[in-house]
Structure 1
Amino acid sequence: MNKKQKNIAKNALIEWLKHPSELGKNPSAIEYAGEFDLHRMHYYIFRFQKEGSSKWYTGVSGGYANDFDYAHCGHVFSEMKEYDEHTAKKDCMDTVEMIIAHWKKTMTDSGLYAALQENSRFIHLEEIPVQDIDKQFQKSNVYIGDVNFPTGAITVADPLSYIPANRHCLELEQKIPIGSYPVYVSVSDTPSLGLRMCTVRMKITPNTAVKYLHAKGTPETVIIASDEKIIHGFPVDASMISICDSMQARRLRAVCEDFEKEYPEKDFYEDVLSPLFAASYQAQPLVQRQEGDFIEWINPIDKKKMIMVASGIGDGIYYAYWGYDEKGEICELIIPMVNPEYFSK
């Protein structure tokens, strides 16, 4: 059992129950009652009591992608059905299926599902149209911070789920000169998605990109799919991406390991990173959601910098692309996540 994840799920259910349309207050008692996996996501079963009642009721909370995922608790619900230890698991699985079916129908009816499919095809292209990226940054070009490259080897990965776990961290084959490079993000606010981070861009030279081609990963870090297809992308399970020097990825991992040893009851994201994201929002509230969507993180080991950015629509496979100038030389690196044109129709 993942105690941290379970407690986050428990607190999410308590918050849901406090809503005026539900109990309107905290349950008088709540207990862990089991867990299960469904659709490759992990869920926790709880039983709770209403104030003034001795009866127990069933609730479910979760939707986690893996043991390192503390950010996703998107499925939280109770049908206020009396708890039965023999049927609780099936009851909760039926509830999750109902939630998923509801959101699928909502997305289909609103046209959002079709837009998401278009967007998925766009961010997986072999070559990204320059005009689409130019249009984004003409409307919004937000400076995040600088990234230090003491070795010139680039790693793109989920900094919350996979860098600490030393899994699915894509190191690009092409290195860049040792140095420090500025990173920007384009931001959009559409009726169907709200405020979102769209494309992350790291400028390597001042030159303008005239072509964006898929950046290949090293043979040791690419994903080999079940059909033996090589995927030169990186998975995101905690709605966060990062660009950093490969040495800094290892040092972030070391910081996380040391933190867990020293503070076993604490969570690195909640206790270390979350306040930084909150401060980022306070500094630039017009281009971020309230929890904060990007930070420049300074590693306490060597004071080197990396960036972390909310991953557009959320989880999935993302790809990096080299930007080439008119001389055919690399001038930037981008990670496209959202094409706002699809969500503005």
Structure 2
Amino acid sequence: MERYETIRHQLDAATDFAKYFTEPAIGAVAVDVLALGDLHLPTGRIVACDPMTELEDAKPYMQTVPPGVYPVQACVIPSEEHGDRYACVHVRISDAKPLRYECGMTGTEKIDEPIEPGDFYGFGVDAGVGCVTDARTRDEAVAYTAKLVDAGDLEEWETPFEEALAENAKAHPKYQTEYGDWVNWTVPGTDDDVIVTTSGWGDGYYATYFAYAEDGTVCGLYVPYILIDEEEQSGEDARSGEGEASDM
């Protein structure tokens, strides 16, 4: 913790992610905002990961938010040429203006290496999707999936999310392929849910940022999958996983 306190502000994001949800375009890149419904956070301990490969092992962040129910949005880059891309997911904790964006940390990262500008710690995506949920919901979703596998309703490598994504695409086709690009999935028998979206350009390594207001409270949570500003400047694929500080 002593080492963490010396580096935590070095990991703050330089990008103002709030503008992804308030501006019609980031530079020359047109964006749109898609409402994903409300997210129930019964403990306020946040988990972000690839839900199809890492949900069981994902650790909650040290930073927390007050337990509650919060609206969630996705910033989408519409494109007929490249397909609609989900650039960022935002959980709105309050209406306060973000003053800084602090990199989410689980306390398991190896933080002895020097921190360079643009470095961050985050989670890996191997199935092209990421999620945001509560630590309690994570446990409930893992237990529910295990029951389906034990009953023979799912193969060991399957999750409930594949079917849920496809079904949600039928009900809400905007900015979705037939396989589904987002779903707000409630664990059966609970009031707890998991927000799942496609992860920008796909597999990679992504950060989660807790936005702090001037009074020191957390006013939002942002999971950027595409750094639109950097991508426009470089003309390259500037996914959130470029130049990361690895936690392995």
> How high is the TM-score relative to the length of structure 1?
0.55
Which position in structure 2 is the counterpart of 1:149?
A: 41
| SS of 1:138 mapped into structure 2 | coil
Evaluate the alpha carbon distance shift between residue 150 and residue 265 of structure 1 in structure 2; reply closer, same or farther with a 3 A threshold.
closer
Is the 2:18–2:98 Cα contact (8 Å) retained in structure 1? no
Deviation at 1:274, TM superposition (A): 3.1
Q: Distance in 1 between matches of 2:162 and 2:125?
A: 18
Q: Which amino acid aligns with 2:64?
A: K
Evaluate the alpha carbon distance shift between residue 213 and residue 339 of structure 1 in structure 2; reply closer, same or farther with a 3 A threshold.
same
Show structure 1 runs of 5+ residues with no match.
1-124
Which position in structure 1 is the counterpart of 2:125?
A: 236
Which position in structure 1 is the counterpart of 2:143?
A: 254
Indicate yes or no: 2:16 matched with 1:134.
no
Q: Distance in 1 between matches of 2:212 and 2:73?
A: 17
Deviations 1:34-70 (A, max 9, x none): xxxxxxxxxxxxxxxxxxxxxxxxxxxxxxxxxxxxx
Q: Which amino acid aligns with 2:60?
A: E
Indicate yes or no: 2:83 matched with 1:197.
no
Q: Which amino acid aligns with 1:138?
A: E
Is the 1:170–1:232 Cα contact (8 Å) retained in structure 2? no
**More divergent stretch after superposition (147-156 vs 257-266):** 257-266
| SS of 1:255 mapped into structure 2 | helix
Evaluate the alpha carbon distance shift between residue 343 and residue 231 of structure 1 in structure 2; reply closer, same or farther with a 3 A threshold.
closer
| SS of 1:287 mapped into structure 2 | coil
Q: Which amino acid aligns with 2:150?
A: K
Deviations 1:207-243 (A, max 9, x none): 22232221222x2xx3449979997311111111111
Q: Which amino acid aligns with 2:226?
A: V
Q: Distance in 2 between matches of 1:145 and 1:215?
A: 23
Q: Distance in 2 between matches of 1:225 and 1:240?
A: 26
Is the 2:120–2:207 Cα contact (8 Å) retained in structure 1? no
Q: 1:294 aligns with which of 169, 178, 182?
A: 182
Which structure's relative contact order is higher, taking Cα pairs within 8 Å and 6+ residues apart? 2
Deviation at 1:268, TM superposition (A): 7.4
Is the 2:201–2:225 Cα contact (8 Å) retained in structure 1? yes
Q: Distance in 2 between matches of 1:175 and 1:308?
A: 20
| SS of 1:307 mapped into structure 2 | strand
| SS of 2:137 mapped into structure 1 | helix
Q: Distance in 2 between matches of 1:284 and 1:264?
A: 26
Evaluate the alpha carbon distance shift between residue 284 and residue 320 of structure 1 in structure 2; reply closer, same or farther with a 3 A threshold.
same
Q: Distance in 2 between matches of 1:186 and 1:315?
A: 18
Q: Distance in 2 between matches of 1:136 and 1:175?
A: 22
Indicate yes or no: 2:200 matched with 1:315.
no
Deviations 1:262-294 (A, max 9, x none): 016647757x43332223223332322332111
Deviation at 1:298, TM superposition (A): 0.6
Runs of 4+ in 1 over 6 A off after TM superposition: 225-231
Give 1:15-164 correspondences, 5 Å limit: 126-130=12-16, 133-135=18-20, 137-139=22-24, 140-163=32-55
How high is the sequence identity, in percent, across the aligned residues? 23
Which position in structure 1 is the counterpart of 2:192?
A: 304
Q: Distance in 2 between matches of 1:185 and 1:285?
A: 15
Deviation at 1:184, TM superposition (A): 0.6
Deviation at 1:133, TM superposition (A): 4.3
Q: Which amino acid aligns with 2:33?
A: N
- For the aligned residue pairs, the C-alpha RMSD in angstroms reads 3.0
Evaluate the alpha carbon distance shift between residue 161 and residue 226 of structure 1 in structure 2; reply closer, same or farther with a 3 A threshold.
farther
Q: Which amino acid aligns with 1:157?
A: C
Q: How many residues align?
A: 214
Deviations 1:165-187 (A, max 9, x none): x32x1311122111111111000
Q: Distance in 2 between matches of 1:224 and 1:129?
A: 24
